[in-house]
Amino acid sequence: MKRRYQLAKALVHDPDIIILDEPTAGVDVQLRHELWDYLRRLHEEGKTILLTTHYIEEAELLCEEGAIINKGEIIKEGSPKDLTQQLGRAGITIHLSGWQESNNHLLDDFTFTHENGRLHFSITDPEQDMATIISVLAQEGCHIQSVKTEKSSLEDVFLNLTGKV
């Protein structure tokens, strides 16, 4: 209730710029999601929102731009998507049958390994590249048994940058 009051107090004058220090700290999950929805609506109305948070998931979901701060210094800044693509790890692992080493040239645009009926692709954006990869495999008559994507979160990037892994 106190957080709602503080937020209402900050917004009563309909400011164009809203500065929030840890707006969801200490609130339950339901209220956190309600606040996230409200902040998104304010942003859609054209409000500029500057917020600090220790919840990295919150920053990843809400922020267009962010800064990773360690020991009082900004060590990296950018959009969550850019930070995870530049500094994170991502890939696709496909278990399949029917792939021949002689077909490797068909996937020259990708960095991948092939062993024991498994192709593993090291790529920056699995969602973007998956359709192309699957299409090539299907054209070559491969039987795909499973597909698994992995993508670093902003939290993974933070932990790697700050050495707190």
Instruction: Please report, for the chain, the start and end positions of each structural domain, with discontinuous segments joined by +.
Output: 2-63, 87-154
Average pLDDT (110-128) is: 88
CATH assignment, 2-63: 3.40.50.300
What HEC string does 114-129 produce?
EECCEEEEECCCHHHH
pLDDT at 151: 87
On the CB side of 4, how many CA atoms lie within 13 Å of its CA?
7
Average pLDDT of 68-97? 92
Read off the pLDDT of each residue in 23-41 and give the average, rounded to a whole number: 91
Tell me which of 3-7, 17-21, 65-69 is least confident.
Answer: 3-7
Residue 81: strand, helix, or coil: helix
What's the pLDDT score for residue 4? 76
Decide if pLDDT at 1 tops 80. Answer: no
29-56 average pLDDT score? 93
Q: Residue 90: pLDDT above 70?
A: yes
| For residues 46-55, average pLDDT | 93
Contact 74, 100 (CB under 8 A): no
d(CA 3, CA 28): 11
Fold of 87-154: Alpha-Beta Plaits (3.30.70)
Between the alpha carbon of residue 52 and those of residues 2, 23, 62, the distances in Å are 18, 8, 11
